[in-house]
């Protein structure tokens, strides 16, 4: 697939994941890009964050170049798409939880290793918890509305993070929006 100005974030994720895989570089899609995919676009990210599990800078540059991306400081940009790619320093974690098991998302014919819906929800909540980012709270709620997420897992993690009060706000908003949605059908 060739990236164009009309390529979606999901298509960019698929192309990048495939290029990295071909180069033998294991990578997991995280952050706002996962929230965009799981919220069906209700939340929109301009960048894609992949946590790498190996690969040298030279190998990463070559893999990204093979699909039209060039390194610009700490990000990779492409002339044809507004989306850029970053590789934040690992390890793969959400808050203080390092026991993250990626899932495989199918995007067209491509396979992309990514956070699960529950972990993507927790990832957005981490931004809400630690930086009071209301947009991240909204993204977490949107993910919870569109996918089965384990509220019990999120609750236990939130308590370990010392964020029981903010979790209660998330849970109230998720419940309110689910009820509102049900009343429309």
Helix 31-38 to helix 9-22 angle (10° resolution) is 130
For residue 54, the model assigns a pLDDT of: 87
Q: Where are the domains of the chain?
A: 9-114, 117-184
Is the four-CA dihedral 132, 121, 111, 46 of positive or negative sign?
A: negative
- 39-63 pLDDT tens trace: 999 999 999 999 998 889 999 999 9
Q: Give the integer Cα–Cα distance in Å for 58 and 75.
A: 14
| Stretches in the chain below the pLDDT threshold 70 | none
For residue 6, the model assigns a pLDDT of: 95
Name residues whose C-beta falls within 8 Å of residue 1's C-beta, 6 or more positions apart in sequence: 7, 11, 14, 15, 108
The string of DSSP letters for 38-70 reads: HTTTSS--SEEEEEEES--HHHHHHHHHTTTEE
Q: Is 106 helix (H, G, I), strand (E, B) or coil?
A: strand
Is residue 145 within 8 Å of residue 117, measured between CB atoms?
no
Is the four-CA dihedral 5, 7, 10, 12 of positive or negative sign?
A: negative
pTM of the model: 0.94
- Out of 3.30.460, 2.60.40, 3.40.120, 3.30.420, the CATH code matching 9-114 is 3.30.460
Eight-state DSSP code of residue 147: S
Q: Give the integer Cα–Cα distance in Å for 132 and 163.
A: 11
């Amino acid at each position: 697939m060739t990236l164009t100005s009309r390529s979606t974030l999901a298509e960019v994720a698929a192309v990048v994941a495939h290029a990295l895989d071909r180069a033998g570089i294991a990578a997991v899609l995280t952050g706002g890009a996962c929230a965009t995919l799981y919220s069906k676009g209700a939340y929109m990210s301009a960048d894609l964050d992949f946590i790498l599990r190996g690969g040298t800078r030279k190998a990463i540059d070559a893999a990204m170049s093979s699909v039209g991306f060039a390194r610009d400081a700490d990000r990779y940009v492409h002339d044809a798409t507004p989306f850029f790619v970053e590789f934040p320093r690992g390890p793969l974690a959400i808050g203080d939880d390092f026991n993250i098991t990626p899932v495989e998302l199918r995007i067209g014919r491509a396979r992309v290793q990514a956070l699960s819906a529950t972990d993507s929800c927790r990832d957005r909540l981490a931004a809400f918890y630690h930086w009071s980012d209301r947009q991240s709270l909204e993204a977490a709620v949107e993910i919870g509305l569109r996918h089965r997420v384990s509220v019990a897992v999120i609750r236990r993690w939130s308590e370990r993070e010392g964020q029981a009060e903010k979790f209660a706000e998330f849970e109230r908003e998720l419940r309110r929006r689910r009820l509102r949605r049900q009343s429309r059908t």
